[in-house]
């Protein structure tokens, strides 16, 4: 009985905030004039499929880049003590508080037509360098808010790794890269999987940044927004949302099983 009461909040939460809205979303998607064939319509529409592919690719690129940058930084910060370290760590978490719109502003300030990078490159190299309004701008924007999430998770785990493990590997003759491959990364694996999943899912669903940078970025959340507000095609917006959720979920499951087997087979 007591156990049941412990589960109660989880059950209520799952039903109220996950299951019910999802069921409603799904039923709304097939209640339009196309009925169930709306999903066939999506699959045969090159614009939708292209935007899905672009969304997956940019999210994947962001996840990989964030894991690389954040893991390197986390390992450095864990093993080195220096003046201003805590201040640096505190300020690295800064982007967490920003909404996507602000991240978009920052990207425009950096890579827009009047941006810092363009000003410098125009004056010094006499070439225009504008990347804010494209997938590249989106990539950097997403990277900017993904790195802190990954960094914090990886650092928390890196600090708990027994330093004797690395010393043991070295005592057995392992070179630094072998230590990284055989000891450090396997030790960090749970954190890398968890934070990579969060980074990927967040990037798949991010909207504010794309909306701010706008013009020619067609990621799936933008398409959903357009269908919903401009075309008032509610069934299509719902169907695309279901697709977005489903693809993210399947890819995360796939990555999880893949890393699971690779960890078991390592060594």
Check binding of 263 to other proteins (CB under 8 A): yes
Q: Does 50 bind other proteins (CB under 8 A)?
A: no
Determine if 262 is a binding residue for other proteins (CB under 8 A). Answer: no
Looking at the Cβ atoms of 30 and 174, the one nearer to other proteins is 174
Q: Does 245 bind other proteins (CB under 8 A)?
A: no
Interface with other proteins, residue 159, by CB under 8 A: no
Measuring CA to CA, how many Å separate 47 from each of 33, 50, 51, 219, 222?
Answer: 21, 5, 6, 10, 12
Number of alpha helices (DSSP H) and beta strands (DSSP E) in the chain: 14, 0
Task: Kindly tell me which residue out of 2, 126, 173, 230 binds other proteins, with binding defined by CB under 8 A.
Answer: 173
Contact present, 150 and 71 (Cβ < 8 Å): yes
* Secondary structure letter of residue 31 according to DSSP: S
CA distance 168 to 182: 11
Nearest distance in Å: CB 85, other proteins: 17
> Based on CB atoms, which residue is closest to other proteins, 53 or 175?
175
Regarding 168 and contact with other proteins (CB under 8 A), the answer is yes
Q: How far apart are CA 10 and CA 16, in angstroms?
A: 10
Non-local (6+) Cβ contacts of 46 within 8 A are none
Per-residue contact flags (x/-) with other proteins for residues 178 to 217, judged by CB under 8 A = x---xx--xx-x----------------------------
List interacting residues with other proteins (CB under 8 A): 162, 164-165, 167-175, 178, 182-183, 186-187, 189, 263, 266-267
């Amino acid at each position: 009985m007591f156990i049941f009461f412990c589960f109660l909040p989880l059950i209520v939460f799952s039903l109220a905030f996950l299951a019910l809205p999802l069921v409603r979303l799904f039923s709304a998607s097939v209640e339009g004039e196309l009925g169930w064939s709306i999903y066939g319509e999506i699959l045969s529409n090159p614009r939708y499929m292209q935007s899905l592919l672009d969304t997956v690719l940019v999210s994947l690129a962001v996840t990989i880049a964030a894991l690389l940058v954040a893991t390197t930084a986390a390992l450095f910060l864990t093993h080195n003590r220096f003046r201003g370290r805590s201040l640096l760590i505190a300020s690295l978490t800064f982007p967490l508080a920003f909404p996507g719109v602000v991240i978009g502003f920052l990207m425009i300030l950096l890579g827009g037509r009047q941006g810092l990078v363009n000003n410098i490159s125009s004056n010094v190299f006499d070439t225009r360098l504008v990347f804010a309004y494209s997938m590249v701008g989106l990539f950097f924007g997403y990277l900017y808010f993904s790195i802190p999430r990954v960094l914090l998770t990886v650092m928390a785990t890196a600090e708990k790794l027994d330093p004797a493990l690395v010393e043991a590997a070295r005592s057995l003759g392992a070179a630094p890269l072998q230590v990284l491959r055989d000891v450090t990364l396997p030790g960090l694996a749970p954190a890398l999987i968890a934070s990579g999943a969060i980074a990927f899912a967040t990037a798949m669903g991010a909207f504010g940044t794309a909306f701010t940078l706008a013009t020619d970025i067609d990621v799936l959340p933008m398409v959903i927004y357009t269908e919903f507000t401009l075309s008032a095609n509610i069934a299509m917006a719902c169907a695309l949302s279901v697709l977005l959720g489903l693809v993210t979920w399947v890819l995360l499951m796939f990555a999880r099983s893949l890393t699971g087997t690779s960890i078991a087979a390592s060594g």
